[in-house]
Amino acid sequence: MANLRIDKLNKSYGPTRVLVDINLGIDNGEFVVLVGPSGCGKSTLLRMIAGLERITAGACFLDGVDVTNVAPAKRRIAMVFQSYALYPHMTARQNIAFSLSLACASRKEQDERTREVARILQLEDYLDRRPAELSGGQRQRVAIGRALVRKPEVFLFDEPLSNLDAKLRVQMRLELAKLHVALSATMIYVTHDQTEAMTLADKIVVLDKGKIAQVGSPLELYNHPANKFVAAFIGSPGMAAYVATKHGIMGLTKTAALEVATTGIRVNAVAPGIVNAGLTDSSSEEFIKQALAAHPIGRMAESQEIAAAVLWLCSDEASFVLGHTLPVEGGMTIH
Protein backbone atom coordinates (compact mmCIF):
# COMPACT_ATOMS: atom_id res chain seq x y z
CA MET A 1 0.00 0.00 0.00
CA ALA A 2 1.01 3.65 -0.30
CA ASN A 3 1.35 6.80 1.72
CA LEU A 4 -0.22 10.02 0.54
CA ARG A 5 0.83 13.62 1.12
CA ILE A 6 -1.10 16.77 0.26
CA ASP A 7 0.75 20.10 0.32
CA LYS A 8 -1.03 23.47 0.39
CA LEU A 9 -3.83 22.21 -1.81
CA ASN A 10 -6.37 24.80 -2.99
CA LYS A 11 -9.47 24.58 -5.13
CA SER A 12 -11.41 27.51 -6.54
CA TYR A 13 -14.39 27.85 -8.84
CA GLY A 14 -13.94 31.35 -10.20
CA PRO A 15 -13.75 33.71 -7.21
CA THR A 16 -15.18 31.07 -4.84
CA ARG A 17 -12.54 29.25 -2.78
CA VAL A 18 -13.77 25.75 -1.99
CA LEU A 19 -10.62 24.36 -0.34
CA VAL A 20 -7.99 26.53 1.31
CA ASP A 21 -4.37 25.50 2.05
CA ILE A 22 -5.05 21.83 2.81
CA ASN A 23 -2.02 20.06 4.31
CA LEU A 24 -2.44 16.38 5.13
CA GLY A 25 -0.30 13.27 5.50
CA ILE A 26 -1.70 9.73 5.33
CA ASP A 27 0.52 6.78 6.22
CA ASN A 28 0.64 3.31 4.69
CA GLY A 29 -2.38 1.25 5.69
CA GLU A 30 -4.23 4.04 7.50
CA PHE A 31 -8.01 4.33 7.43
CA VAL A 32 -8.63 8.08 7.25
CA VAL A 33 -12.12 9.55 7.38
CA LEU A 34 -12.93 13.02 6.02
CA VAL A 35 -15.89 14.36 7.93
CA GLY A 36 -17.77 17.63 8.06
CA PRO A 37 -21.11 19.27 7.24
CA SER A 38 -22.51 19.39 3.72
CA GLY A 39 -20.62 21.83 1.52
CA CYS A 40 -17.39 21.78 3.55
CA GLY A 41 -15.35 20.39 0.62
CA LYS A 42 -14.75 16.77 1.66
CA SER A 43 -16.01 15.14 -1.57
CA THR A 44 -14.17 17.74 -3.65
CA LEU A 45 -10.95 16.90 -1.80
CA LEU A 46 -11.51 13.19 -2.45
CA ARG A 47 -12.10 13.80 -6.17
CA MET A 48 -8.92 15.89 -6.37
CA ILE A 49 -6.93 13.04 -4.83
CA ALA A 50 -8.46 10.71 -7.44
CA GLY A 51 -7.62 13.14 -10.24
CA LEU A 52 -11.24 13.77 -11.16
CA GLU A 53 -11.00 17.48 -10.25
CA ARG A 54 -8.19 19.80 -11.31
CA ILE A 55 -6.08 21.22 -8.50
CA THR A 56 -6.04 25.03 -8.53
CA ALA A 57 -2.86 25.24 -6.45
CA GLY A 58 -0.72 22.91 -4.35
CA ALA A 59 0.43 19.34 -4.92
CA CYS A 60 -0.51 15.72 -4.25
CA PHE A 61 2.16 13.06 -3.69
CA LEU A 62 1.75 9.28 -3.76
CA ASP A 63 4.72 7.42 -2.24
CA GLY A 64 6.77 10.58 -2.71
CA VAL A 65 5.89 10.92 -6.41
CA ASP A 66 4.06 14.06 -7.53
CA VAL A 67 0.80 12.91 -9.14
CA THR A 68 -0.84 16.35 -9.31
CA ASN A 69 -1.05 16.27 -13.10
CA VAL A 70 -1.17 12.49 -13.60
CA ALA A 71 -4.30 11.08 -15.28
CA PRO A 72 -6.76 9.30 -12.92
CA ALA A 73 -6.27 5.91 -14.62
CA LYS A 74 -2.53 6.05 -13.95
CA ARG A 75 -2.64 7.07 -10.28
CA ARG A 76 -3.00 3.54 -8.80
CA ILE A 77 -6.06 4.84 -6.96
CA ALA A 78 -9.54 3.30 -7.03
CA MET A 79 -12.75 5.07 -6.06
CA VAL A 80 -16.10 3.74 -4.82
CA PHE A 81 -18.95 6.15 -5.52
CA GLN A 82 -22.07 6.93 -3.52
CA SER A 83 -24.32 5.80 -6.41
CA TYR A 84 -22.44 2.49 -7.01
CA ALA A 85 -22.22 3.36 -10.76
CA LEU A 86 -22.73 -0.26 -11.85
CA TYR A 87 -23.55 -1.11 -15.46
CA PRO A 88 -27.14 -2.43 -15.34
CA HIS A 89 -26.79 -4.70 -18.43
CA MET A 90 -23.71 -6.46 -17.02
CA THR A 91 -23.58 -9.22 -14.44
CA ALA A 92 -21.74 -8.75 -11.15
CA ARG A 93 -18.85 -10.76 -12.65
CA GLN A 94 -18.64 -8.48 -15.68
CA ASN A 95 -18.88 -5.31 -13.57
CA ILE A 96 -16.04 -6.45 -11.31
CA ALA A 97 -13.81 -7.45 -14.23
CA PHE A 98 -14.58 -4.40 -16.39
CA SER A 99 -11.41 -2.47 -15.57
CA LEU A 100 -9.33 -5.57 -16.31
CA SER A 101 -10.95 -5.95 -19.73
CA LEU A 102 -10.15 -2.31 -20.49
CA ALA A 103 -6.55 -3.02 -19.52
CA CYS A 104 -6.56 -5.94 -22.00
CA ALA A 105 -5.89 -8.53 -19.29
CA SER A 106 -6.21 -12.13 -20.39
CA ARG A 107 -9.45 -14.03 -19.83
CA LYS A 108 -7.67 -16.29 -17.39
CA GLU A 109 -6.36 -13.36 -15.33
CA GLN A 110 -9.76 -11.67 -15.35
CA ASP A 111 -11.44 -14.85 -14.13
CA GLU A 112 -8.86 -15.59 -11.41
CA ARG A 113 -8.86 -12.08 -9.98
CA THR A 114 -12.65 -11.76 -10.15
CA ARG A 115 -13.12 -15.05 -8.27
CA GLU A 116 -10.55 -13.98 -5.63
CA VAL A 117 -12.33 -10.65 -5.08
CA ALA A 118 -15.71 -12.41 -4.94
CA ARG A 119 -14.34 -14.75 -2.27
CA ILE A 120 -13.08 -11.84 -0.14
CA LEU A 121 -16.40 -9.98 -0.46
CA GLN A 122 -18.60 -13.10 -0.14
CA LEU A 123 -20.11 -12.60 -3.60
CA GLU A 124 -19.35 -16.02 -5.09
CA ASP A 125 -23.04 -17.01 -5.26
CA TYR A 126 -24.10 -13.76 -6.94
CA LEU A 127 -21.57 -13.32 -9.77
CA ASP A 128 -24.06 -14.16 -12.53
CA ARG A 129 -26.76 -11.78 -11.32
CA ARG A 130 -27.35 -8.32 -12.73
CA PRO A 131 -27.47 -5.27 -10.40
CA ALA A 132 -31.29 -5.19 -10.41
CA GLU A 133 -31.27 -8.72 -8.95
CA LEU A 134 -28.98 -7.76 -6.04
CA SER A 135 -29.72 -6.14 -2.69
CA GLY A 136 -28.29 -2.74 -1.80
CA GLY A 137 -25.51 -4.28 0.26
CA GLN A 138 -24.62 -6.72 -2.52
CA ARG A 139 -24.51 -3.92 -5.10
CA GLN A 140 -22.23 -1.96 -2.81
CA ARG A 141 -19.91 -4.96 -2.49
CA VAL A 142 -19.80 -5.33 -6.27
CA ALA A 143 -18.77 -1.66 -6.51
CA ILE A 144 -16.04 -2.29 -3.92
CA GLY A 145 -14.99 -5.42 -5.84
CA ARG A 146 -14.63 -3.42 -9.04
CA ALA A 147 -12.18 -1.16 -7.20
CA LEU A 148 -10.45 -4.03 -5.40
CA VAL A 149 -9.75 -6.07 -8.54
CA ARG A 150 -7.41 -3.34 -9.82
CA LYS A 151 -5.11 -3.85 -6.81
CA PRO A 152 -4.81 -0.09 -6.20
CA GLU A 153 -2.41 1.59 -3.80
CA VAL A 154 -5.19 3.73 -2.27
CA PHE A 155 -8.95 3.19 -1.92
CA LEU A 156 -11.28 6.18 -1.95
CA PHE A 157 -14.87 5.92 -0.67
CA ASP A 158 -17.35 8.76 -1.27
CA GLU A 159 -20.22 8.24 1.21
CA PRO A 160 -20.67 4.63 0.03
CA LEU A 161 -23.25 3.66 2.66
CA SER A 162 -25.58 6.66 2.48
CA ASN A 163 -28.12 4.84 0.24
CA LEU A 164 -28.47 1.86 2.59
CA ASP A 165 -30.96 1.38 5.40
CA ALA A 166 -29.78 1.68 9.02
CA LYS A 167 -29.37 -2.05 9.66
CA LEU A 168 -27.46 -2.64 6.43
CA ARG A 169 -25.21 0.33 7.11
CA VAL A 170 -24.10 -1.21 10.39
CA GLN A 171 -23.40 -4.52 8.62
CA MET A 172 -21.43 -2.84 5.82
CA ARG A 173 -19.39 -0.84 8.34
CA LEU A 174 -18.25 -4.11 9.85
CA GLU A 175 -17.47 -5.50 6.40
CA LEU A 176 -15.38 -2.45 5.49
CA ALA A 177 -13.49 -2.64 8.78
CA LYS A 178 -12.73 -6.34 8.19
CA LEU A 179 -11.68 -5.60 4.59
CA HIS A 180 -9.29 -2.92 5.78
CA VAL A 181 -7.68 -5.32 8.24
CA ALA A 182 -7.49 -8.13 5.68
CA LEU A 183 -5.89 -5.96 2.98
CA SER A 184 -3.85 -3.62 5.22
CA ALA A 185 -4.96 -1.06 2.67
CA THR A 186 -4.69 2.71 2.67
CA MET A 187 -8.26 3.96 2.67
CA ILE A 188 -9.77 7.45 2.58
CA TYR A 189 -13.45 7.61 3.38
CA VAL A 190 -15.84 10.56 3.10
CA THR A 191 -18.92 10.79 5.30
CA HIS A 192 -21.05 13.27 7.22
CA ASP A 193 -22.01 10.53 9.69
CA GLN A 194 -20.07 10.89 12.95
CA THR A 195 -20.85 7.29 13.92
CA GLU A 196 -19.15 5.98 10.79
CA ALA A 197 -16.19 8.26 11.40
CA MET A 198 -15.75 7.26 15.04
CA THR A 199 -16.11 3.51 14.42
CA LEU A 200 -14.05 3.12 11.22
CA ALA A 201 -11.23 5.63 11.38
CA ASP A 202 -7.64 5.42 12.54
CA LYS A 203 -7.51 9.15 11.87
CA ILE A 204 -10.30 11.69 11.39
CA VAL A 205 -9.94 14.90 9.38
CA VAL A 206 -12.64 17.44 10.28
CA LEU A 207 -13.32 19.98 7.54
CA ASP A 208 -15.10 23.29 8.05
CA LYS A 209 -15.75 25.75 5.23
CA GLY A 210 -12.95 24.40 3.09
CA LYS A 211 -10.32 24.32 5.83
CA ILE A 212 -9.04 21.59 8.12
CA ALA A 213 -10.41 22.25 11.61
CA GLN A 214 -8.57 19.36 13.30
CA VAL A 215 -6.80 16.08 12.54
CA GLY A 216 -6.49 13.28 15.10
CA SER A 217 -7.69 9.92 16.33
CA PRO A 218 -11.39 9.55 17.21
CA LEU A 219 -10.68 9.74 20.94
CA GLU A 220 -8.39 12.76 20.55
CA LEU A 221 -11.09 14.68 18.72
CA TYR A 222 -13.79 13.59 21.17
CA ASN A 223 -11.83 14.33 24.35
CA HIS A 224 -9.69 17.26 23.16
CA PRO A 225 -11.47 19.23 20.42
CA ALA A 226 -9.38 22.06 19.01
CA ASN A 227 -12.27 24.53 18.80
CA LYS A 228 -16.01 24.93 19.31
CA PHE A 229 -16.86 23.69 15.82
CA VAL A 230 -15.14 20.34 16.36
CA ALA A 231 -16.62 20.06 19.86
CA ALA A 232 -20.12 20.61 18.48
CA PHE A 233 -19.68 18.35 15.45
CA ILE A 234 -17.98 15.30 16.96
CA GLY A 235 -20.00 13.18 19.34
CA SER A 236 -23.70 12.99 20.07
CA PRO A 237 -24.83 15.19 21.68
CA GLY A 238 -22.12 17.70 20.84
CA MET A 239 -19.97 19.18 23.58
CA ALA A 240 -21.32 22.65 22.89
CA ALA A 241 -24.84 21.43 23.55
CA TYR A 242 -23.63 19.77 26.76
CA VAL A 243 -21.99 22.99 27.96
CA ALA A 244 -25.13 24.99 27.18
CA THR A 245 -27.29 22.45 28.97
CA LYS A 246 -24.97 22.43 31.96
CA HIS A 247 -25.15 26.20 32.32
CA GLY A 248 -28.91 26.07 31.86
CA ILE A 249 -29.23 23.55 34.71
CA MET A 250 -26.97 25.68 36.88
CA GLY A 251 -29.17 28.71 36.31
CA LEU A 252 -32.31 26.78 37.12
CA THR A 253 -30.89 25.32 40.34
CA LYS A 254 -29.73 28.74 41.50
CA THR A 255 -33.16 30.22 40.85
CA ALA A 256 -34.87 27.30 42.58
CA ALA A 257 -32.49 27.54 45.54
CA LEU A 258 -33.35 31.21 46.05
CA GLU A 259 -37.07 30.52 45.85
CA VAL A 260 -36.85 27.63 48.31
CA ALA A 261 -34.73 29.72 50.68
CA THR A 262 -37.48 32.33 51.02
CA THR A 263 -39.87 29.64 52.31
CA GLY A 264 -37.60 28.87 55.24
CA ILE A 265 -35.75 25.87 53.83
CA ARG A 266 -32.00 26.23 54.31
CA VAL A 267 -30.79 24.86 50.98
CA ASN A 268 -27.17 25.48 51.90
CA ALA A 269 -27.26 22.66 54.43
CA VAL A 270 -29.67 20.10 52.98
CA ALA A 271 -28.03 16.71 52.53
CA PRO A 272 -24.84 18.00 50.86
CA GLY A 273 -23.41 15.41 48.49
CA ILE A 274 -26.45 13.12 48.54
CA VAL A 275 -26.82 13.66 44.79
CA ASN A 276 -23.72 13.99 42.64
CA ALA A 277 -24.92 16.61 40.16
CA GLY A 278 -21.59 16.82 38.33
CA LEU A 279 -21.62 20.61 38.25
CA THR A 280 -18.26 22.14 39.04
CA ASP A 281 -18.67 25.84 38.37
CA SER A 282 -18.47 28.04 41.46
CA SER A 283 -21.44 30.19 42.32
CA SER A 284 -21.38 33.66 40.85
CA GLU A 285 -20.61 36.55 43.18
CA GLU A 286 -23.99 38.14 42.48
CA PHE A 287 -25.84 34.93 43.38
CA ILE A 288 -23.88 34.59 46.65
CA LYS A 289 -24.82 38.15 47.60
CA GLN A 290 -28.50 37.48 46.93
CA ALA A 291 -28.50 34.24 48.88
CA LEU A 292 -26.65 35.72 51.86
CA ALA A 293 -29.06 38.67 51.89
CA ALA A 294 -31.98 36.25 52.13
CA HIS A 295 -30.29 34.04 54.76
CA PRO A 296 -27.19 35.60 56.28
CA ILE A 297 -26.61 32.80 58.84
CA GLY A 298 -24.37 29.81 58.05
CA ARG A 299 -21.89 29.04 55.34
CA MET A 300 -22.75 29.42 51.66
CA ALA A 301 -22.84 26.13 49.77
CA GLU A 302 -20.94 25.38 46.60
CA SER A 303 -23.05 25.29 43.46
CA GLN A 304 -22.95 21.48 43.24
CA GLU A 305 -24.33 21.27 46.79
CA ILE A 306 -27.16 23.63 45.90
CA ALA A 307 -27.94 21.51 42.86
CA ALA A 308 -27.84 18.36 44.99
CA ALA A 309 -30.15 19.89 47.57
CA VAL A 310 -32.74 20.99 45.05
CA LEU A 311 -32.63 17.68 43.21
CA TRP A 312 -32.99 15.80 46.47
CA LEU A 313 -35.90 17.95 47.64
CA CYS A 314 -37.68 17.16 44.36
CA SER A 315 -37.08 13.43 44.66
CA ASP A 316 -39.31 10.70 46.12
CA GLU A 317 -36.82 10.28 48.97
CA ALA A 318 -37.67 13.77 50.23
CA SER A 319 -41.45 13.41 49.97
CA PHE A 320 -41.77 12.68 53.70
CA VAL A 321 -40.33 16.13 54.55
CA LEU A 322 -43.59 17.99 53.91
CA GLY A 323 -45.10 19.11 57.21
CA HIS A 324 -42.23 17.83 59.33
CA THR A 325 -39.09 19.18 60.91
CA LEU A 326 -35.95 17.48 59.65
CA PRO A 327 -32.61 18.00 61.43
CA VAL A 328 -29.69 18.35 59.01
CA GLU A 329 -25.94 18.71 59.20
CA GLY A 330 -24.72 21.88 60.90
CA GLY A 331 -27.48 22.05 63.51
CA MET A 332 -30.00 23.56 61.13
CA THR A 333 -33.48 22.32 60.35
CA ILE A 334 -35.89 22.06 57.45
CA HIS A 335 -39.45 23.11 58.25
Higher-confidence residue of 314 and 89: namely 89
147 and 253 co-located in one domain: no
- Tell whether the model's pLDDT for residue 156 goes beyond 80: yes
Q: Which CATH number do you get for residue 92?
A: 3.40.50.300
Tell whether 248 and 183 lie within a shared domain.
no
- 151 versus 69: the higher-pLDDT residue is 69
The arithmetic mean of pLDDT across residues 24-45, rounded, is 92
More confident position, 334 or 141: 141
Residues 221, 248 within the same domain: no
Confidence of residue 316 (pLDDT cuts 50, 70, 90): low
Per-residue pLDDT reduced to its tens digit, 170-196 = 888 888 888 888 888 899 999 988 888
What lies within 8 Å, CB to CB, of 106 at 6+ separation is: none
Q: Is the pLDDT score of 133 beyond 80? A: yes
Asked if 150 and 283 sit in the same domain, the reply is: no
Residue type, 309: A
Residue ranges making up the domain that contains 276:
241-334
> Are residues 265 and 204 both part of a single domain?
no
For 83-108, b/e burial (b = at least 16 CB within 10 A) is ebebeeeebbbbbbbbbbeeeebeee
Question: Angle 136-148/92-102 helices, nearest 10 degrees?
Answer: 20
Residues 132, 14 share a domain: yes
The pTM of this model reads 0.67
Per the prediction, the chain carries an average pLDDT of: 77
pLDDT in tens, 87-112: 999 999 999 999 888 888 888 998 99
pLDDT band at 205 (very low <50, low <70, confident <90, very high): very high
Question: In the chain, pLDDT over 70 holds for what percent of residues?
Answer: 70
Question: Domain check: are 176 and 296 in the same one?
Answer: no
269 CB-contact burial (10 Å; exposed 0-12 / middle 13-18 / buried 19+): buried
- pLDDT over 50 at 313, yes or no: yes
Model confidence at 276: pLDDT above 60: no
Lowest model confidence (mean pLDDT) among 19-33, 45-59, 251-265, 275-289: 275-289
Statement: residue 210 has pLDDT above 90: yes
- Asked if 144 and 183 count as a contact pair (C-beta separation under 8 A), the reply is no
Residue, of 123 and 241, whose pLDDT is higher: 123
Residue 295: what pLDDT? 45
Do 83 and 197 reside in the same domain of the chain?
A: yes
Segment 257-276 shows an average pLDDT of 46
| Of the residues 234, 252, 285, the one at which a domain ends | 234
Higher-pLDDT residue of 253 and 99 is 99
- Give the residue with greater pLDDT, 55 vs 279: 55
DSSP string, 67-121: -TTS-GGGSSEEEE-TT----TTS-HHHHHHHHHHHTT--HHHHHHHHHHHHHHT
Of 203, 234, 265, the residue that ends a domain is 234
pLDDT of residue 181: 85
For residues 33 and 140, the model is more confident at 33
As a whole-number percent, the residues of the chain with pLDDT over 90 amount to 35
With contact defined as beta carbons under 8 Å apart, do 290 and 258 qualify? yes
Number of domains in the chain: 2
User: How far is Cα 218 from Cα 270, in angstroms, rounded to an integer?
Assistant: 42
Among 234, 260, 275, give the residue marking a domain's end: 234
Euclidean distance between the first and final Cα of the chain, in Å? 74
State whether 120 and 261 are in the same domain.
no
CA dist 182 and 193 (Å) reads: 24
Are 179 and 304 in a shared domain?
Answer: no
Instruction: Tell me the average pLDDT across 105-120.
Output: 89
**Are 79 and 212 members of one domain?**
yes
Residue 241 has pLDDT above 50, yes or no: no
**Same-domain check for residues 66 and 140:** yes
